[in-house]
């Protein structure tokens, strides 16, 4: 039997990067994959890829900052599939600037997507998971949320904040049978990172003992493990997956 057989799994930001890799990994592991992102055409493409792997999949255009959209998607998923087993809060953005240069718009936008969005999605599924007596919530943090990073006041704050969510919700929801964990990736070869200058990418690689950037599939595999029953006693944990860059 596959590790995520018939687990109804909502993945946000699933149209590219780590989210896409996670959707495909979950599909391979037998999950019912609910693909969510802000562009319907991109969502539809990922749904097709999941179905090509033999998975049941559905897609929704969803902006995590808009609570009515989030509630609508969760209601539709529950109505169609009867339950929600896994939520992967992967959606996130960057709008970098040093403290003295950062605009309020840059600050607010990143907080809105990366922190408030995680709150919206998790609160929206919590009642269903509590009623079931089971569920898994997985939050995307970052090594930046453990150690900070130059030019990322807003992003670091959200990724620190997500760890706070994880620790708090694991205490609140653990007694109800729901596990909450976070993953803190290092620098992963995603479209977001690929936009950096070549010189910067080489400098990043040099900081990592493994001497390379991570692959989205490597983070997806951690999410798949944490979502599975194999991780049944892991709760309130932050797993750093950075190739050892913080050593």
DSSP letter (8 states) at residue 152:
B
Is residue 223 flagged as an active site residue? no
Q: How far apart are CA 223 and CA 162, in angstroms?
A: 16
Phi, psi of 64 (to 5 degrees): -65, -15
Report the first-to-last Cα separation within the chain, whole angstroms. Answer: 38
The catalytically annotated residue of 147, 155, 223, 233 is 155
Q: How far apart are CA 247 and CA 230, in angstroms?
A: 28
Query: Strands, E, within 8-149: which ranges?
Result: 8-12, 32-37, 57-61, 86-89, 135-140
Listed in sequence order, the residues at least 6 apart from 142 whose beta carbon sits closer than 8 Å to its beta carbon are 155, 159, 184, 185
- The residues assigned a catalytic role are 155
């Amino acid at each position: 039997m596959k590790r995520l057989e018939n687990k109804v799994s909502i993945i946000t930001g699933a149209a590219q990067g780590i989210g896409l890799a996670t959707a495909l990994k979950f599909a391979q592991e037998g999950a019912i994959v609910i693909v969510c992102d802000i562009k319907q055409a991109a969502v539809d493409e990922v749904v097709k890829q999941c179905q090509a792997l033999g998975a049941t999949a559905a897609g929704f255009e969803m902006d995590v900052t808009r609570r009515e959209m989030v509630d609508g998607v969760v209601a539709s998923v529950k109505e169609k599939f009867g339950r929600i087993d896994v939520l992967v809060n992967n959606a996130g953005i960057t709008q970098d600037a040093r403290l003295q240069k950062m605009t309020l718009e840059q600050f607010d936008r990143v907080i809105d997507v990366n922190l408030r969005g995680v709150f919206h999605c998790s609160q929206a599924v919590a009642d269903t998971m509590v009623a079931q007596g089971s569920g898994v919530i997985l939050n995307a943090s970052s090594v930046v949320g453990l150690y900070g990073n130059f030019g990322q006041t807003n992003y670091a704050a959200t990724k620190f904040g997500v760890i706070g969510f994880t620790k708090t919700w694991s205490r609140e929801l653990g007694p109800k049978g729901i596990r909450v964990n976070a993953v803190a990736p290092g620098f992963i070869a995603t479209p977001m990172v690929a936009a950096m200058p070549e010189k910067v990418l080489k400098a990043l690689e040099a900081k990592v003992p493994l001497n390379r950037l991570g692959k989205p599939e490597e983070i997806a595999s951690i999410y798949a493990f944490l979502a599975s029953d194999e991780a049944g006693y892991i709760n309130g944990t932050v797993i750093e997956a950075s190739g050892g860059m913080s050593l």
